[in-house]
Chains A and B, each alone.
Chain A
Amino acid sequence: MLQEGSEGSDRLSGQQRVSVPIVQNTDERAAFDEVFVPHMSEAYRLAQWLTGNASDAEDIVQEAAIRAFRGIKNFGAVNARAWSLTIVRNTAFSWLAKNKPKTVVYLNDLSAAEQQELEYEGLQGTKVETPEQIALFKADAEEVEKALAQLPTQFREVIVLRELNQMSYRDIAEITNVPIGTVMSRLSRGRELLLALLGNRK
């Protein structure tokens, strides 16, 4: 390596410092500003919901931003929002898997029966409710926030993406990388779990 170059570099004219990669970087930087930056605060909230923690969310958004910047060449100009949130979501999951493996319920670690029960069988489904009982439901923001934080991650994320980010099923399927049918059953199941948690409070 030609370390003494720094001394000589003072005598170089300005143009010679301009090399092709800088130009590319500038373009990539502009693309990044256009594609990722507008969704950054949304990304931050998603990360916060997935990790349950503000400072972890900050780390994740930073890492996701760098991943997005490095991968900006691969952005296909289709849906910048879904693309950005996908990166954040995946960064959050790898981060959780690495740093807090216990907080993510891996469905595969459960027995087939437990999986079936968690994913499909209704808590509500076994209970016959009258319209009057159903109409009694009341919840405030604080209670719902607590209940939502308790949901298993894969249900929490679809509810957050649907209700707070107001994404379509299609976009949620893309971001969470599952078929639309799975998004539908997780949303329905997640809402049931949420209602059950809220029903059991007091």
Chain B
Amino acid sequence: MALLKDDDELLLNAYFDGELDPVSAREFERRLERDETLKARHDRLQKLREAVRSIPQTGMPAGLQARIQARLDAERRNNNNVTVLRRRTWSYQALAAAAVFGAVISSSVMMTMEQFGQRDSVASEVVAGHIRGLLAPQPYDIASSDRHTVKPWFTARLPASPQVPDLAAQGFSLLGGRVDVIGHNPVATIVYKHAAHTISLTTLRSGQSVPDQTVSGYNVRSWSDPDFTYVAVSDLPGADLTAFERAFSKAAPAPEIK
């Protein structure tokens, strides 16, 4: 009796999960009828599933939902306080002036707060993308040290794709690329290696400002050119990221025709 080949194992799982198209599923069923070992493995997966699904599932703790709603209320109240603080009343004139002044100030405060929040979450989402990349078997979806492979791969998937220079001469070799989702938009991330360290360079729509910072132990460094805002994430020290930025900016000239 033969060992299951890897492909068979994947096929078996896909069949078992109902993910095969009808034709392949029927074909696989015919094989199951003939192949005792395959059938036994299939039935074992079924037993495993039943056992997993019989694990008692705990419900949400009482009060969690109420606590969450309360925190959201608090969040809303904080936002509103920004407007409440802007009230002055001595005369209608002053009131009117204050209302205008208050509206302007509060909306700009709100905008700043919102932008700050967004920036903050952009940095953490970019870092999350990097961490997810490190968790995957490889930190990229397309592996290639050839810029002429990576760039078209991005072009085929994204509305805007950045230059993909290989910076091996400067010590940063191109590993490949992946698509990250930042703020619900798919964006290109180029992956480089420097010694044993992985650098994810995420390219965002230009004109965003992401402050340099450290998130979950990863250094974040960002810069912009007219086409993109770049966010580099790595466990490399800040100085190395600065060197990386310099190498990348020098190598990525203002893009030609896209």
Nearest Cβ distance between residue A120 and chain B, in whole angstroms? 8
Which residues of A pack against B, CB within 8 Å? Answer: 1-6, 8-9, 11-12, 16-17, 19-22, 25, 29, 32, 37, 40-41, 44-45, 48, 54, 58, 61-62, 65-67, 69-71, 74-76, 90, 93-94, 97-98, 104, 106-108, 115, 119-120, 122, 125, 128-132, 134-135, 137-141, 143-145, 148, 153-154, 159, 162-164, 168-169, 176-179, 182, 184-185, 187-188, 191-192, 194-195, 198
Q: Using a Cβ cutoff of 8 Å, how many contacts connect chains A and B?
A: 211
Tell me which residues from 1 to 32 in chain B have a Cβ below 8 Å from any Cβ of chain A.
1, 3-4, 6, 9-10, 12-14, 17, 19
Stretch at the interface among B83-91, B224-232, B236-244: B83-91
Q: Do A106 and B134 contact each other (CB < 8 Å), given the known contacts A54-B61, A137-B44, A143-B51?
A: yes
Nearest Cβ distance between residue B74 and chain A, in whole angstroms? 10
Contact A139 B57 (CB under 8 A): no
From B19, B47, B110, A21 is in contact (CB under 8 Å) with: B110
Assembled-state Cα–Cα distance A175/B191 (Å): 21
Q: Do A45 and B87 contact each other (CB < 8 Å), given the known contacts A162-B17, A187-B17?
A: no
Which residues of B pack against A, CB within 8 Å? Answer: 1, 3-4, 6, 9-10, 12-14, 17, 19, 36-37, 39-41, 43-45, 47-49, 51-61, 64-65, 67-68, 71-72, 75-76, 79-80, 83-90, 98-99, 102-103, 106-107, 110, 117, 121, 124, 127-129, 131-132, 134-137, 139, 141, 180-181, 183-184, 198, 216-217
Contact B128 A90 (CB under 8 A): yes
From B65, B68, B76, B88, A25 is in contact (CB under 8 Å) with: B76
Closest 5 pairs (CB-CB, A-B): A8-B89, A134-B40, A131-B40, A5-B87, A74-B184
Contact B132 A128 (CB under 8 A): no
Assembled-state Cα–Cα distance A179/B129 (Å): 14
- Which of A128, A131, A139, A194 has most chain B Cβ within 10 Å? A131
Assembled-state Cα–Cα distance A68/B244 (Å): 34
Interface of B (DSSP majority class): helix
Nearest Cβ distance between residue B248 and chain A, in whole angstroms? 22
Q: Do A141 and B72 contact each other (CB < 8 Å), given the known contacts A70-B117, A188-B9?
A: no
Neighbouring B residues of A104 by C-beta, 8 Å: 135
What are 17 A-B residue pairs whose CB atoms fall within 8 Å in the complex? Answer: A8-B89, A9-B87, A16-B99, A45-B57, A61-B68, A66-B68, A93-B131, A94-B128, A97-B216, A129-B37, A131-B1, A131-B36, A137-B48, A177-B132, A188-B13, A192-B9, A195-B48
What is the chain B residue whose CB lies nearest that of A45?
B57
- Which of A32, A75, A139 has most chain B Cβ within 10 Å? A139
Assembled-state Cα–Cα distance A134/B180 (Å): 41
Assembled-state Cα–Cα distance A66/B99 (Å): 31
Assembled-state Cα–Cα distance A6/B65 (Å): 32
From B1, B10, B45, B128, A93 is in contact (CB under 8 Å) with: B128
Contact A144 B55 (CB under 8 A): yes
Neighbouring A residues of B41 by C-beta, 8 Å: 134
Q: Do A145 and B55 contact each other (CB < 8 Å), given the known contacts A2-B87, A108-B139?
A: yes
Assembled-state Cα–Cα distance A94/B64 (Å): 21
